[in-house]
Amino acid sequence: MSLTRAQRSLVWSRAANCCEYCRIPQSDSLIPFEVDHIKPLRHEGMDDIDNLCLACALCNGNKGYNIAALDPETQLATQLFNPRQQKWEDHFTVNNDYTIAGLTAVGRTTGDVLKFNIEDRVNQRRYLTQVGLYPCAPHTDE
């Protein structure tokens, strides 16, 4: 990656040390979070700050180079969630069983691709919720 220290610092600060996809805090991850290109460089994305977000290793690894996928409900091609252009609450909700439900095609597709609801991740959210650490939320006053 060709990001500057200032860009990385701004991404971390803006995200308040939270994964901007699944909303877990860096403090609960043994693996350092990563700066994600929302639109990957290989898809002509840029290093512009508006194309960068903070992602946990699981979200970033599952997202890979994807920018879209099939909505599991409609089977229509759907872009993935963009934390710079969309509000998390418009596309996702956390259910009482600690799963993350997609409220829209974008939410469903993103949750499916990023594997939000595999057992280990749901158990992690359950624990973090019980100790008051989930969900963490990035700053919204950019």
Mean pLDDT, each 10-residue run in order, the chain (142 residues)? 89 96 94 96 92 97 97 98 97 98 98 98 96 86 50
Look up tokens 């939000």; give the residue: 116
pLDDT value of position 135: 92
pLDDT value of position 140: 65
**DSSP H helices in 1-142:** 5-15, 57-63, 88-91, 105-113, 119-130
Amino acid identity of residue 36, one-letter, is D
Does pTM top 0.85 for this prediction?
A: yes
pLDDT value of position 2: 79
Which residues make Cβ contacts (< 8 Å) with residue 75, sequence separation at least 6?
none
